[in-house]
Amino acid sequence: MHHTIDLPSLLVRNCEWIVTQNARREVMHKGSILVEDGVIRQVGNVSGSADKEVDGSGKIALPGLINAHTHLSMTLFRGYADDMLLQDWLAKKIWPLEAKLSNEDCYSGALLGAVEMIRSGTTSFVDMYFHMEDVARAVAKSGLRGFLSYGIIDLFDTAKSSRERANVQKFYEYVRDLGNPRVRFVIGPHAPYTCSAEMLQWSKGFAEKNNTMIHIHVAETRREQADSQKQHGMRVVEYLDKIGALSKNMLAAHCVWLTKSEVKLLAKSEVKVAHCPVSNMKLASGGVAPLPEMFDAGIPVALGTDGAASNNSLDMFETMKICALIHKAHRWDPTVLPAQKTLDLATIEGARALGVDQEIGSIESGKRGDVILLDANAPNLRPLHGVETVVSDLVYSASSGNLDTTIVDGQVLMENRIVTSLDSAEVCAKAQERATRLVS
């Protein structure tokens, strides 16, 4: 990342605990964090002062969480259509509303999602939707770190295909001209069943040429696998492999319905996975993504919420807990996804899946200053038994309600539970107005 703007320095003083997520997964007792020009310079015993100070006493500091798959503007559809079959949900409720979405709706929904993420400790996220220029505008205003993709859908139609390529190019140039280091372009072919082979291949080439991620939905449902068998005579990942679409730049969301040989194919091509356990459970996608097999194959896995219409929150604390629980329940094995591994998925492993683990995902000198603080004195976090249990407490006992402060690039976006980068009440009121108009 090239940061050209001088950012004010920040000192987070005297934290009770610092969960660094560094290579040794070190948890420090009592320490401070100094961020200069957006970059963490010192952790632990800090000498010197800063433009701004935040009191870390009685707080647990951890790296800002990474939501690796969402559709931010879909916050407008939150709670609008629950408890439905996936196909009915899409065809009867979501698609008719999406057809009516204006760019200002998407802007308003993105701001609502941004406020929710700031309040629940997410500092980086990977998005896919429409009207992405407006989402980018909202993200820039919010102070969050966004990896944004325009959702390409060509439905195997060549005329639509060339329009979509033009849309991608337009958004690419918009992000480039925006010149905001926290807003990054990602290419987003929606799925193998909504994009032609040519579009998937073109996306791969575009990603290689411009050094970006490819954000895509893969093997979300059993039906998708059955349709692939019918249409291509092979499974989804086998098809992607055959047409040469798999790539080390690919971040594949869901990957619920995979065989062991498909897991191996993903690993061979160095594909990364964004696991969305809550959405998969709520839409009853069936099955559980084979995370232990992915870990064994060496596939970097990140965690995501998916859009708020199918979750219905963007809360990564909730996602971490549910993720750990579903894999234990599914495998009859409480050791299958320990708290430390689960926190890894939402932080440093998530960063690795996004290809940005040199920049974010841990509290270490040289990383971007993305830090969140939780109130360690909250009743649901007491007693604290010490350094060995802090990570367990974060995954199983904590909730986003314990969040006190959210910092991105050393800039405070929320302090004492008050969002400072956006007007929370105004954002909520506008989103309510937009959503009411949309469904009427």
Contact range with Zn ion by CB under 5 A, out of 22-30, 55-63, 95-103, 305-313: 305-313
Contact range with Zn ion by CB under 5 A, out of 76-84, 105-113, 298-306, 400-408: 298-306
Contact range with Zn ion by CB under 5 A, out of 10-18, 104-112, 306-314, 364-372: 306-314
Residue nearer to Zn ion on the CB measure, 40 or 278: 278
User: How near is the Cβ of 78 to Zn ion at its closest, in Å?
Assistant: 15
Residue nearer to Zn ion on the CB measure, 68 or 407: 68
User: How near is the Cβ of 73 to Zn ion at its closest, in Å?
Assistant: 12
User: How near is the Cβ of 25 to Zn ion at its closest, in Å?
Assistant: 30
Q: Which residue is nearest to Zn ion (CB)?
A: 306
User: How near is the Cβ of 305 to Zn ion at its closest, in Å?
Assistant: 9
Contact range with Zn ion by CB under 5 A, out of 26-34, 78-86, 302-310, 328-336: 302-310
Per rule CB under 5 A, count of chain residues that contact Zn ion: 1
Show contacts with Zn ion in window 189-228 (CB under 5 A): none
Contact 175, 136 (CB under 8 A): yes
Contact range with Zn ion by CB under 5 A, out of 300-308, 343-351, 359-367, 421-429: 300-308
User: How near is the Cβ of 122 to Zn ion at its closest, in Å?
Assistant: 16
Rounded to an integer, what distance in angstroms lies between the CA atom of residue 108 and that of residue 247? 34
User: Cα-flanking dihedrals φ and ψ of residue 250, to 5°?
Assistant: -85, 130
Contact range with Zn ion by CB under 5 A, out of 18-26, 260-268, 299-307, 360-368: 299-307
User: Cα-flanking dihedrals φ and ψ of residue 336, to 5°?
Assistant: -70, -35
Three-state SS for the chain is CCCCCCCCCEEEEEEEEEECCCCCCCEEEEEEEEEECCEEEEEECCCCCCCEEEECCCEEEEECEEEEEECHHHHHHCCCCCCCCHHHHHHHHHHHHHHHCCHHHHHHHHHHHHHHHHHHCEEEEEEEECCHHHHHHHHHHHCCEEEEEEEECCCCCHHHHHHHHHHHHHHHHHHHHHCCCCEEEEEEECCCCCCCHHHHHHHHHHHHHHCCCEEEEECCCHHHHHHHHHHHCCCHHHHHHHCCCCCCCEEEEECCCCCHHHHHHHHHCCCEEEECHHHHHHCCCCCCCCHHHHHHHCCCEEECCCCHHHCCCCCHHHHHHHHHHHHHHHHCCCCCCCHHHHHHHHCHHHHHHCCCCCCCCCCCCCCECCEEEEECCCHHHCCCCCCCCHHHHHHHHCCHHHEEEEEECCEEEEECCEECCCCHHHHHHHHHHHHHHHHC
Residue nearer to Zn ion on the CB measure, 87 or 416: 87
User: How near is the Cβ of 307 to Zn ion at its closest, in Å?
Assistant: 6
Residue nearer to Zn ion on the CB measure, 241 or 306: 306
User: How near is the Cβ of 89 to Zn ion at its closest, in Å?
Assistant: 13
Contact range with Zn ion by CB under 5 A, out of 27-35, 141-149, 304-312, 317-325: 304-312
User: How near is the Cβ of 191 to Zn ion at its closest, in Å?
Assistant: 9
Residue nearer to Zn ion on the CB measure, 306 or 375: 306
User: How near is the Cβ of 188 to Zn ion at its closest, in Å?
Assistant: 10
Residue nearer to Zn ion on the CB measure, 221 or 362: 221
Residue nearer to Zn ion on the CB measure, 224 or 306: 306
Show contacts with Zn ion in window 365-424 (CB under 5 A): none
Select from 16, 224, 262, 306 the one that contacts Zn ion (CB under 5 A): 306
- Reference 201, options 152, 129, 266; nearest CA is 152
**Residue 98 binds Zn ion (CB under 5 A):** no
Strand 52-55, strand 10-19: pairing: parallel
Rounded to an integer, what distance in angstroms lies between the CA atom of residue 65 and that of residue 17? 17
Rounded to an integer, what distance in angstroms lies between the CA atom of residue 202 and that of residue 18? 44
User: How near is the Cβ of 111 to Zn ion at its closest, in Å?
Assistant: 20
Contact range with Zn ion by CB under 5 A, out of 146-154, 241-249, 301-309, 413-421: 301-309
Residue nearer to Zn ion on the CB measure, 18 or 153: 153
Residue nearer to Zn ion on the CB measure, 305 or 411: 305
Q: Which amino acid is at 34?
A: L
Residue nearer to Zn ion on the CB measure, 98 or 306: 306
CB atoms within 10 A of CB 339: 19
User: How near is the Cβ of 125 to Zn ion at its closest, in Å?
Assistant: 12
Residue nearer to Zn ion on the CB measure, 114 or 419: 114
Footprint on this chain of Zn ion (rule: CB under 5 A): 306
